Amino acid sequence: MIRQWWPAQFLLFWSGVEPRSRTLSQVAARVAGALGRLTTVLLGIFMTMVGLAMTVTIVMLPLGVTIGLVGVAILLCGIFAPPMSTDG
């Protein structure tokens, strides 16, 4: 049987904590699952701000609008995407 939450198991191994209970493993799985979403949201905010800053100058306006819209799309995907569950 393949472990479905290998990032959580890696997090536990890396921190030196032994998974003695199922609850600790579940908490680690939720934290590992939230890290990807949090990274996506932060990347979307960053790209939106960079795009907004680039639109200040008329020379960078087309590139700034493009980067800003991609940032908004990434931000919305990070907020509203359904959770990725591998449970069958």
Across the range 51-64, mean pLDDT stands at 92
Domain with 28, as residue range(s), is 6-14+21-80
- 53 within some domain: yes
**Residue 2 pLDDT greater than 60, yes or no:** no
Residue 60 CA to chain centroid, in angstroms?
28
Reported confidence tier of residue 88, pLDDT bands at 50, 70, 90: very low
- 73 within some domain: yes
- Of the candidates 48, 19, 45, 47, the one whose C-alpha atom is nearest the C-alpha of residue 32 is 19
- 87 within some domain: no
| Number of separate domains in the chain | 1
- Identity of the residue numbered 75: L
- 75 within some domain: yes
Across the range 12-39, mean pLDDT stands at 71
Reported confidence tier of residue 17, pLDDT bands at 50, 70, 90: low
Question: Would you state the structure tokens that stand for residue 4, as one six-digit string?
Answer: 């479905």
- 85 within some domain: no
Structure letter (DSSP) for residue 71: H
- 88 within some domain: no
- Identity of the residue numbered 10: F
3-class SS shares of the chain: helix, strand, coil, % to 5: 70, 0, 30
Rounded CA-CA distance 62/10 in Å is 42
- 1 within some domain: no
Computed over every residue of the chain, the mean pLDDT equals: 79
> 6-10, 21-25, 27-31, 44-48: lowest mean pLDDT where?
6-10
